Amino acid sequence: LEIYLVSFDPNAALKSEPHYEGSQEFLTIIKGAVSVAAGDNTAKLKKGDFIIYNCDIPHEIVNDSPQPAVVHMVVRYQDGHR
């Protein structure tokens, strides 16, 4: 597992290449609002929302608002990776 507290400035993005096969990210929005895209799937999330998505495909988290955002992220890898 990897655990992060990630702060996003207004209009900032975190774009990621695919992680190891079978990897997942667990995201909780602590402050503000963000959009998450994983492959062809997208979701708009606000404070208190939670999402799980596969991160073995291109994915990104975007704060497309004029306010800062903070998210708690857990990255889970399949056994044998990381």
Confidence at residue 57, expressed as pLDDT on a 0 to 100 scale: 97
User: Angle at Cα 38 formed by Cα 33 and Cα 42, nearest 5°?
Assistant: 50
Torsion of CA 14, 16, 76, 2, to 10 degrees: -50
Confidence at residue 15, expressed as pLDDT on a 0 to 100 scale: 97
* pLDDT of 82 above 70: no
Which residue type does 25 have?
E
Mean pLDDT, residues 48-74: 97
Q: How does pLDDT run across 26-56, given as a tens digit for each residue?
A: 999 999 999 999 999 999 999 999 999 999 9
Beta partners for residue 59, in sequence order:
16, 38
* pLDDT of 79 above 90: no
Its pTM stands at 0.91
Residue 74 parent element (H or E): strand 69-76
